Structure 1
Amino acid sequence: MKIERFDYDSLHSTPWHKHASGQLYWLSHGILVIETTSVQWTVTPGSLGWFPADVSHSAWVPAGVKGQSLYLEPASCSPFPAHPGVYGADAFVMAILERLCREGDLSSPAEYQSHLLKLLGFEIAGAPDLPLQLTLPVDRRARNVANQLLKNPACELDQTQLAQQWGLSVRNLSRLFTQQTGLSFSQWRQQAKVVTSLQWVLAGLPVSEVALRSGYSNVSAYIDVFRQRFGKTPGQFQNALLRTESRQKASG
């Protein structure tokens, strides 16, 4: 077991890589966007990002981020989920992590740490996935369209123009998104906008500005889509994250 703290500036990125160990992320400030070959995840304060060993991924930071990573040997990973995911971190899970970090100097018996890791794995495996993931198309041309929309959610090009730009017919673009993401193109684009908007919500920007940056001319429509995805309005989500950050800073 190894614990590392990280503090990255805005727009920091890591190239594609993988670890021989499992990796657990949690944040005290900011947002971390992690991408595998098929899914993009957004890790926020109050959530845990889990990635098993040998999963290729890259990461980037929309704004400054602070957090910690826990690296686990494969033998310790069996209680943890078999697939990557982002999970809620309640007070009990955070208490386990705090104890592991405090005992990370190996001053406690190995058996004690092993029990804590097993308990942590069982808690995470039993927790529901948070709606912080976005499935990505694997077809190269459709992926180019997806990447363009993720980089610029306010893009004004319509589906026909995007398809033509990347050498696809509208019908093929629709088929690829439906088959490879489980969402229609318009549904995926809407979800991409609202997931991408998290970086500005957490930065404390006014909801009207967040909506505009995310490609919504109607603020009420943005709030409705956000609530459908996350179960909270942008303001409620922002307040919850800020409270989480405050608690973690106080405990740290």
Structure 2
Amino acid sequence: MAIFVHIEALSHVRQHETPWHSHSAGQFYWLTRGIFVIETEQAQWTLTSGSLGWFPEKLAHKARALSTVQGYIFRVNSMDNMALHNKPKICRIDFFIQAILQKLTSLAVDYPTEYLAHLTELLAYEAMRTAELSLCLPLPADRRARHIADELLEEPASQKSQAALANKWGVSIRTLSRLFMEQTGLSFSQWRQQAKLLTSLQWIDAGLAISEVSALCGYATVSAYIKAFRERFRETPRQFQVKVN
């Protein structure tokens, strides 16, 4: 049985940053507004409104609000719950999960602990069986490749070639390609595209025109951005914008 710990409101202004830390309890994040990025040593996880994120206990991470963020954090002891995975996951919130979350956040503080535990257990099973959303960006472990990854995340519209980036950070193109494939499971170009798309979510959430978002991400044409977005998320940027707002 999952041991219910407590629920707390999540509220951050845009660009709020939380430094590296970890928790003794696992955490579910339910965002009702905004874009929230949680970074571990291995990956970046982008939480959006309408998604539910799970992060196990003792996982070192830092976080940043890419827009005004509101929601809830559910802290649970996952050691007693075999349904919960020992790695992060972000899933879509369906009607049933939504109902559980709303019930948990509306209960009075004097509700029996056993009832809260049962609801949390049900939430855990539903979250773990629900398909994972494509909101994870794996990060390379190699220092040089990581510097390049960080630069591209900070400057998604950068037109620097792979050769120029490799030369800047003292690594050959061949080695850089190998590092990204071995350490992220993606080719350099695939990783760069995925980084652009995930970074673009903050501007879609902010209500910018799709043409502006496309330019901020460095796409040559709006149609190229829309095509890449649809292939990644199975919906258009406009459909995503309507959903989150």
Aligned equivalent of 2:170: 167
Aligned equivalent of 2:25: 21
Aligned equivalent of 1:72: 76
- Asked whether the 8 Å contact 2:78–2:84 carries over to 1, the reply is no
* Unmatched segments (≥5 aa) in structure 1: 243-252
What residue identity is the alignment partner of 1:35?
A: E
- Asked whether the 8 Å contact 1:81–1:121 carries over to 2, the reply is no
The count of corresponding residues between Structure 1 and Structure 2 is 241
Shift in Å at residue 74 of structure 1? Answer: 3.6
Shift in Å at residue 10 of structure 1? Answer: 1.2
- Asked whether the 8 Å contact 1:22–1:77 carries over to 2, the reply is no
Aligned equivalent of 2:59: 55
Q: Percent identity, aligned pairs only?
A: 49
Q: Secondary structure at the match of 1:60?
A: strand
CA displacement 1:162-215 (0-9 Å, x = unmatched): 011111111110000011111110111011111110000111100110000001
Aligned equivalent of 1:32: 36
What residue identity is the alignment partner of 2:206?
A: A
User: If the length of structure 2 is used for normalisation, what is the TM-score?
Assistant: 0.95
What residue identity is the alignment partner of 1:32?
A: F
For 1:63 and 1:52, locate their aligned partners in 2 and report how far apart those are by CA, in whole Å: 24
CA displacement 1:45-104 (0-9 Å, x = unmatched): 110111010111110011211111011124454322221011111121121112112226
1:114-129 map, 5 Å: 114-129=117-132
1:59-138 map, 5 Å: 59-103=63-107, 105=109, 107-138=110-141
For 1:230 and 1:178, locate their aligned partners in 2 and report how far apart those are by CA, in whole Å: 22
* Unmatched segments (≥5 aa) in structure 2: none
Please, which of 178, 186, 189 is the counterpart of residue 183 of structure 1? 186
What residue identity is the alignment partner of 2:24?
A: A
Aligned equivalent of 1:148: 151
Please, which of 216, 223, 245 is the counterpart of residue 213 of structure 1? 216
Give the direction of change, closer, same or farther, for the CA distance of 1:167–1:115 in structure 2 (3 Å limit): same
1:236-247 map, 5 Å: 236-242=239-245
Please, which of 1, 6, 9 is the counterpart of residue 5 of structure 1? 9
For 2:198 and 2:80, locate their aligned partners in 1 and report how far apart those are by CA, in whole Å: 32
Q: CA RMSD in A?
A: 1.1
Aligned equivalent of 1:248: none
Shift in Å at residue 39 of structure 1? Answer: 0.9
